[in-house]
Structure 1
């Protein structure tokens, strides 16, 4: 190997990002050029900086701007959970591949923007920065864009696991049934007589309690799928809602 080397040890939880030989925490020897930052070096291994918590060089805390020198030993740790994110309340932006996760987050009252069409990585990253939203994606390249305000990799392709991962990592405030699952607008109670023209005959006859989105005017009621959705919401609140885990 040409040039001076450093040794980089990546936490096993971040193993899916690095070459197979180093996924169990085995130290990786890397060549350094005396110019590239530690952040660049970590990304060159495949780890998005959105997933990196503490960086330690020879046992001492270091920033992503540190320039590694020959012989240094670097530890790359994962983000802490729950992960502190500046600003409140938390707002999210999901890419085109995370539609089911977006709807579930909205059902829990989490402010979740979602692009149903592929608008391209630059536009997504710009929206994250402009609206100060945490961008969630399974696209590692997208999460490496410099203009991102904040981001997070979604580790699973299963919606149940995705939801638990996001709620456990970011700990957003949950306010079930307060947002429109279709557009992310806020819901308010609606009088039946004011929305009758938007209801089919069977719905109007069988239900009396309704909510309506203030943005897209979609109407909600406790229909045939409510029990399944209620079970999902109840489970999420039990694990991640106020007082969860308290005896």
Structure 2
């Protein structure tokens, strides 16, 4: 018996073109499926992680990733709306080994950010995302196409300052600058100079009066020589989040997505 392999027409929004081949970046193109795979499976087989997909329209009608496309259907793949809302748990993040600078900047802003400084492998990262209900951030498309992560997002840029802007624009998280340890993600607690005097470097005791200490790892913080640069990062982050939220207010609430 001959196997029927339906032909489906696909169109990908411009925001998703980075994930698909050049010939699929202009209008609708034909894809031959096996007639049994779900639409979500087909989209991922074409290179697009479902973490980056917002709505799926079949002949103009919204469908879920579980839809099995039939011959002759036209599929439009749209990107995640911004700012993206995550249901089911507080907005927390997990970053892979290649995003260390981004992790420190997110912690500077008070965003709950777990980070693996060593390569623990994709299965372990995905499992931690699921166990702790953290949004997995990575530039590894294969990692984001795994089934285990609770939620995820692809980081497009290789530059930390642009990476941070991407995440702030996409999720518009609540910011609480200077409240997390950039080294371990622990909570910072205000403390007195006297209580940390033995941990201060030469000259620090005389130059500064305000100190904080990480409740988890014990790292001591004060407003050092780089504070002005860090203040600029904080100010720019606040502007980015404010603009993202204002844009959402103008266009209406973004669809909620949990994976």
Please give the range of the TM-score, normalised by the shorter of the 2 chains: over 0.9
Deviation at 1:73, TM superposition (A): 0.3
Q: Is the 8 A contact 1:89 1:173 kept in 2?
A: no
- 2:84 maps to 1:83: yes
Cross-structure match for 1:234: 235
CA RMSD of aligned residues (A): 1.6
Q: Distance in 2 between matches of 1:137 and 1:22?
A: 24
Cross-structure match for 1:110: 111
Q: 1:81 to 1:243 in 2, by over 3 A?
A: closer
Deviation at 1:112, TM superposition (A): 0.2
Q: Is the 8 A contact 1:173 1:241 kept in 2?
A: no
Q: Is the 8 A contact 2:83 2:245 kept in 1?
A: no
Q: TM-score, normalised by structure 1?
A: 0.95
Cross-structure match for 2:32: 31
Q: Which runs of 5+ in 1 are unaligned?
A: none
Cross-structure match for 2:43: 42
Q: Is the 8 A contact 1:89 1:172 kept in 2?
A: no
Secondary structure of the corresponding residue to residue 198 of structure 2? helix
Which shows bigger deviation, 82-91 or 7-16? 82-91
Which shows bigger deviation, 26-35 or 91-100? 26-35
Cross-structure match for 1:12: 14
Q: Is the 8 A contact 2:83 2:244 kept in 1?
A: no
Which shows bigger deviation, 143-152 or 229-238? 229-238
Q: Distance in 1 between matches of 2:176 and 2:199?
A: 26
Q: Is the 8 A contact 2:122 2:143 kept in 1?
A: yes
Q: Distance in 1 between matches of 2:59 and 2:242?
A: 39
Q: Distance in 1 between matches of 2:168 and 2:18?
A: 21
Q: Distance in 1 between matches of 2:170 and 2:235?
A: 19
Cross-structure match for 2:219: 218
Secondary structure of the corresponding residue to residue 87 of structure 2? coil
Secondary structure of the corresponding residue to residue 129 of structure 1? helix
Cross-structure match for 1:195: 196
Q: Which runs of 4+ in 1 moved over 6 A?
A: none
Cross-structure match for 1:63: 64
Secondary structure of the corresponding residue to residue 135 of structure 1? strand
Q: Distance in 1 between matches of 2:221 and 2:243?
A: 25
Aligned positions, number: 244
